[in-house]
């Protein structure tokens, strides 16, 4: 038997690979440079500068104490050009220190604008990945035109731009949430547990979602998730206590400081501005209705198949801003998966689904911009209505498609009728 000869690349193939590598390097360099320039010229970015500065202080790279008012004042100057005014985020740090260690690589950068630019590039990549995973979890392979439109909706939507401008962790958390769902679907329980460990914060964004996930895995008796959660959590806790032994008390002080601020939006606060006499009661009524709805759907989803659980997870993320937890429009980027599930189901189940889905996508994209930029709405109410629009729209959309999502799996005939959704 003759030995198998290794095929060598021809000079033309080598030149092609070198040329492709150079093109890729040039594109990545331009992409990174553009983000660095944007970070240098724009104010904002306090969402990432807050953990960045605290890690640098805790590692002794900068002077000060983590979780202190001096660090908050520094972030305010970087984000606003001065002290925070009434209604602005004071940036009191309230992230558990062991999770703050995840920002350690970024803290090695000493320039705040460069650190923000690097994070901006990372968040944009995460936003793209989150959009792709949203389509995958919805089991949807849209036509090329609609795929392009959906990526534009996700990348250029008002809530996405808010998140990128602010530097909020919502984009990365949204990607982690989708990773948890995908890992649970593929029965990669240890990976799901590790992702839960790094997402175990920012309850105003995904706290109820994580509670649903824990309820689901406990009812399903998937012990691998617990193993995957414990190992990274205890590792990070051990490192945190070695680096900053007294962080727990400082963390609780930061939590209390954030609790006593007036920053953030709730439906109750919006209703009070719209209807001062009955707004507070309406807000509490919506909170009660949201909590009862979640309890009802969680009870049904814990023993259902994954598709029903995925629908309940999207509903939970959509209802979270309506439960009374203080949040902001920049955190609503995590609702992209809910929009993907709505679009996919409408496209699949209605005869005129293609044009109906295009119309829905146009509505979801244009309505927030119109509400936020329109001159016929008083300025104080623009952000309020923009904040309420997407959660309300996704909740309505999810209940519109509920029957088709939670019904038994599709038949072979239906799959053949819609081959692009196999």
What pLDDT was estimated at residue 9?
A: 67
Q: What share of the chain is helix, strand, coil (3-state, %, to 5)?
A: 75, 0, 25
**In whole angstroms, what is the distance from residue 185 CA to residue 192 CA?**
10
Look at residue 420 in the predicted model and tell me its pLDDT. 41
| pTM of structure | 0.89
Burial readout 344-360 (b: 16 or more C-beta within 10 A, e: otherwise): bbbbbbeeebeeebeeb
Give residue 284's pLDDT.
92
Residue-level pLDDT at 417: 47
CA gap 22, 8 in Å, rounded: 21
Mean pLDDT, 10 residues at a time, the chain of 422 residues: 59 74 82 82 86 87 83 88 81 86 87 91 93 90 85 92 92 94 92 91 90 91 89 89 83 80 84 88 92 92 84 95 90 94 86 79 92 82 91 94 74 46 38
Identify the pLDDT of residue 383.
Answer: 87
Can you give the residue ranges of every domain in the chain? 125-241+263-421
- Residue 67 φ/ψ region, left for φ over 0, alpha for ψ in the -120 to 50 degree band, beta for the rest: left
Are the C-beta atoms of residues 332 and 387 closer than 8 Å to each other?
Answer: yes
């Amino acid at each position: 038997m003759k030995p198998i000869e290794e095929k060598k690349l021809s000079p033309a193939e080598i030149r092609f690979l070198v040329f492709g590598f150079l093109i890729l390097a040039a594109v990545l360099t331009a992409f990174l440079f553009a983000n660095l320039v944007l970070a240098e010229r724009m104010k904002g970015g306090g969402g990432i500068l807050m953990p960045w500065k605290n890690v640098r202080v805790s590692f002794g790279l900068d002077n000060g104490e983590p979780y202190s008012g001096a660090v908050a004042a520094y972030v305010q100057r970087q984000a606003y050009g001065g002290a925070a005014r009434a209604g602005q985020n004071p940036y009191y740090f309230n992230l558990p220190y062991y999770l703050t260690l995840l920002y350690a690589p970024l803290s090695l950068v000493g320039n705040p604008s460069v650190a923000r630019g690097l994070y901006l590039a990372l968040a944009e990549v995460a936003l793209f990945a989150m959009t792709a995973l949203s389509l995958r979890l919805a089991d949807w392979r849209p036509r090329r035109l609609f795929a392009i439109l959906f990526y534009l909706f996700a990348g250029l939507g008002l809530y996405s731009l808010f998140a990128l401008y602010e530097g909020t962790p919502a984009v990365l958390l949204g990607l982690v949430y989708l990773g948890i769902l995908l890992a649970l679907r593929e029965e990669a329980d240890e990976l799901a547990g590790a992702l839960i460990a790094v997402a175990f914060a920012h309850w105003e964004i995904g706290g109820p979602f994580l509670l649903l996930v824990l309820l689901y895995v406990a009812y399903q008796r998937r012990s691998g998730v617990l193993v995957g959660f414990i190992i990274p959590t205890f590792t990070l806790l051990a490192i945190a206590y070695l680096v900053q032994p007294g962080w727990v008390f400082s963390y609780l002080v930061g939590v209390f400081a954030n609790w006593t601020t007036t920053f953030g939006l709730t439906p109750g606060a919006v209703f009070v501005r719209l209807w001062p006499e009955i707004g507070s009661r309406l807000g509490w009524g919506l909170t009660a209705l949201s909590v009862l709805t979640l309890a009802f759907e969680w009870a049904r989803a814990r023993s259902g198949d994954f598709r029903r659980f995925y629908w309940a997870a999207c509903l939970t993320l959509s209802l979270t801003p309506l439960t009374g937890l203080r949040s902001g429009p920049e955190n609503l980027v995590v609702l992209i998966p809910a929009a993907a599930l709505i679009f996919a189901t409408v496209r699949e189940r209605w005869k005129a689904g293609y044009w109906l889905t295009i119309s829905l996508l146009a509505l979801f994209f244009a309505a927030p911009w119109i509400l936020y930029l329109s001159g016929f709405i008083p300025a104080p109410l623009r952000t309020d209505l923009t904040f309420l629009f997407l959660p309300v729209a996704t909740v309505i959309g999810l209940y519109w498609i509920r029957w088709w999502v939670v019904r038994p799996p599709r038949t072979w005939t239906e799959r053949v009728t819609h081959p692009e959704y196999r």
